Copies of this chain bind each other. A is one copy, B any other.
């Protein structure tokens, strides 16, 4: 079993309406990260297309199939090392629907595609949500699970990946700046908490660059399984972190405490669905 992993998140600035430039940027970013020794390269959500679509037609035009030759180029860029690549793209499914997806690629080719389960706000106007569980891959960077952006705000998701043995969760994101805030970025706070309670490493690769007036928090963060933010990136470029995989395999919090074994799943089942408000003390 691998003991550690070098993760590079490549914070990019995709531009809606410039697919060729976006695609070339992703290929270059993968090549650079692999040259720099990455075991895992994470790219932003919708890195090929940009985010702020004005119309369904615009989203359709930006969509590519999972069979697109782009992913062969990602694979070729990754092939000089052991790296696995997780990057977001605007997917046209075989069913003709659009999905907000992440491709997972290594030097051998496309390993899988994850379709975002929780669509954020106006994404619902353009995309169909996925219906399959997020995948986990055994790689040189350990067991890598995949989520996309808003998925992280559903604790059920990172919990599930940790329970299934993920050691690292790679999270392509596009985090729009939504509110003037004296908070530390809430998105990073959420990712940090999910890493900490699950003792799993979480690598969020955000985007930057204003797009049609929308700013982004540029919140790329490599967070270890203790909830320490090891690396960030505020502009375009890499954030790099060395992750101790043993740390994510050891869920013990003390001599008599364990982040996962201390769960009471027999009591959680009844809570999975929303319960109407009832009497006091119900």
State the A residues within 8 Å of B (CB).
Answer: 111-112, 117-125, 129, 131, 133, 135-138, 143, 150, 153-156, 159-160, 163-165, 178, 182-184, 186, 189-190, 192-194, 196-197, 226-228, 253-257, 259-260, 262-265, 267-282
Contact = CB atoms under 8 A, between A and B. Distances in A.
Given A160-B271, A268-B160, A268-B272, A186 B227 contact: yes
Given A183-B227, A184-B184, A277-B165, A156 B196 contact: no
Given A155-B155, A160-B271, A255 B121 contact: yes
Contact of A194 (B111, B117, B137, B193): B193
Given A136-B281, A280-B138, A186 B190 contact: no
Given A124-B256, A155-B197, A184-B184, A271 B163 contact: yes
A133 B264 CA distance: 11
A154 B274 contact: no
A257 B120 contact: yes
19 contacts: A111-B280, A120-B257, A125-B256, A136-B281, A137-B280, A138-B280, A153-B196, A155-B155, A156-B159, A159-B271, A160-B268, A163-B275, A183-B227, A186-B192, A186-B196, A186-B226, A190-B193, A193-B194, A265-B273
Given A155-B159, A165-B276, 15 more contacts: A117-B264, A121-B253, A121-B255, A131-B267, A135-B282, A138-B280, A153-B197, A153-B259, A160-B271, A164-B275, A164-B277, A164-B278, A186-B226, A189-B196, A260-B274
Contacts of A227: 183, 186, 189
- Please give me the 8 A-B residue pairs with the lowest Cβ-Cβ distance, nearest first: A193-B193, A155-B155, A160-B271, A121-B254, A165-B277, A121-B257, A138-B280, A156-B268
A175 to B, nearest CB: 13
A265 B118 CA distance: 11
Given A156-B263, A253-B121, A275-B164, A281 B189 contact: no
Contacts of A125: 256
A136 B268 contact: no
A272 B265 contact: yes
Nearest to A280: B138
Contacts of A160: 268, 271
Nearest to A118: B262
